């Protein structure tokens, strides 16, 4: 009887091992694919946000071209016209919640802004050498690195988007200060529990947001740097690092990047209910 029980137990263990060995790669790939798709969705959300910003910039430019108060300022930048034009710019910020402020500079008119919700870091963008060079370069456009500015007690993750236009026979540069707080909140929600850690990189190569443990971020960064030459190849978005999986996606449209990591332990924890069920 004992030998029969022992033999049955051995047979059960062998069958379980074979079963697990057969199904494990499939289950693991399924979980890794979920994490891979989640990483892609984070980047897609950033792309969608910046696409909305660029579309709204066209609406702003059309308004600037047609608005008498703004045109009067660009032609005759005195104090009275400046105030009237700033009020009009302020109105434009109310039509799209993520646009915190707007500034405009003419070829013969100093920069003015929408008066409210403009922080010290925003003014540094306007006063920077990069901005001054851009205003002298035809139909150019530019994104700043993502930065934080504080207005009152509230802090804002911000990217400034600037573009040159030739309107009514004169050049002007329009700058929109984009509040990314809600976008980052959405991204955190999309990430959920599918990723152990992740970080975002803007078009200037600046890492502006990190989520997860420092060690996981460091591991993800190391793997991303090692794989840097291949990050635009869809076949090389994954990189194994001591059993962990790192994803590195870069946008072809806006230049932003998302790097994420899923630990081997997390994959095992997801598969644990199946393993337990075998016994």
pLDDT tens digit string along 197-208?
A: 999 999 999 999
Q: Kindly give, in sequence order, each residue whose CB lies less than 8 Å from that of residue 75, ignoring residues fewer than 6 positions away.
A: 109, 170
Is the confidence at residue 22, as pLDDT, over 60? no
Torsion over CA: 52, 58, 64, 66 (sign): negative
CA angle centred on 272, ends 268 and 278, rounded to 5°: 130
Is the confidence at residue 233, as pLDDT, over 50? no
| Residue, of 263 and 17, whose pLDDT is higher | 263
Q: List the structure tokens of 93.
A: 């910020």
Is the confidence at residue 178, as pLDDT, over 80? yes
Query: Are 258 and 202 within 8 A, CB to CB?
Result: no
18-42 burial code (b ≥16 CB/10 A, e <16): eeeeeeeeeebeebbeebbebbeeb
Helix (H) / strand (E) element for 242: namely: none
């004169």: which residue's tokens?
A: 170
Report CA-CA distances (Å) from 33 to 178, 210, 238.
32, 22, 10
Is the confidence at residue 92, as pLDDT, over 60? yes
Is the confidence at residue 34, as pLDDT, over 50? yes
Query: Are 178 and 51 within 8 A, CB to CB?
Result: no
Instruction: Give the CB-side neighbour count of residue 30, counting CA atoms within 13 A.
Output: 8
- Mean pLDDT value across residues 76-86: 96
Rounded Cα distance, 175 and 130, in Å: 13
Residue 148's pLDDT is 96
Query: Are 175 and 164 within 8 A, CB to CB?
Result: no
From the list 170, 150, 148, the residue with the least C-alpha distance to 160 is 148
Is the confidence at residue 269, as pLDDT, over 90? no
Residue 232's pLDDT is 47
Rounded Cα distance, 227 and 15, in Å: 40
Question: What phi and psi values does residue 145 have, to the nearest 5 degrees?
Answer: -70, 155
CA angle centred on 43, ends 38 and 48, rounded to 5°: 120
User: How many CB atoms within 10 Å of residue 164?
Assistant: 21
| Residue, of 277 and 234, whose pLDDT is higher | 277
Residue 265's pLDDT is 75
User: How many CB atoms within 10 Å of residue 104?
Assistant: 25
From the list 179, 197, 200, 279, the residue with the least C-alpha distance to 241 is 197
Residue 134's pLDDT is 80
């Amino acid at each position: 009887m004992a030998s029969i029980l022992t033999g049955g137990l051995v047979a059960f263990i062998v069958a379980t091992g074979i079963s697990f060995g057969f199904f494990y790669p499939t289950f693991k790939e399924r979980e890794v694919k979920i994490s891979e798709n989640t990483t892609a969705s984070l980047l897609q959300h950033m792309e969608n946000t910046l696409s909305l910003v660029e579309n709204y910039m066209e609406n702003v430019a059309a308004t600037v071209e047609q608005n008498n108060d703004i045109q009067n300022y660009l032609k005759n930048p005195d104090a009275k016209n400046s105030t009237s034009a700033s009020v009009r710019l302020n109105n434009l910020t109310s039509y799209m919640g993520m646009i915190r402020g707007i500034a405009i500079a003419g070829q013969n008119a100093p920069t003015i802004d929408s008066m409210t919700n403009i922080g010290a870091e925003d003014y540094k963008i306007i006063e920077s050498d990069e901005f001054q060079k851009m205003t002298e370069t035809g139909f150019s456009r530019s994104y700043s690195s993502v930065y934080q500015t504080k207005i009152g007690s509230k802090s804002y993750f911000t990217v400034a988007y600037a573009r040159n236009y030739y309107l009514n026979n004169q050049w002007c540069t329009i700058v929109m200060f984009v509040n990314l707080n809600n976008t980052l909140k959405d991204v955190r929600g999309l990430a959920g529990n599918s990723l152990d850690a992740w970080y975002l990189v803007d078009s200037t190569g600046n890492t502006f947001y990190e989520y997860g443990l420092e060690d996981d971020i460091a591991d993800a960064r190391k793997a991303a740097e090692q794989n840097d030459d291949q990050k635009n190849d869809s076949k090389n978005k994954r990189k194994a690092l001591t059993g962990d999986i790192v994803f590195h996606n870069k946008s072809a449209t806006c230049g932003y990047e998302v790097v994420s990591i899923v630990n081997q332990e997390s994959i095992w924890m997801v598969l644990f209910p199946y393993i337990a069920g075998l016994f």
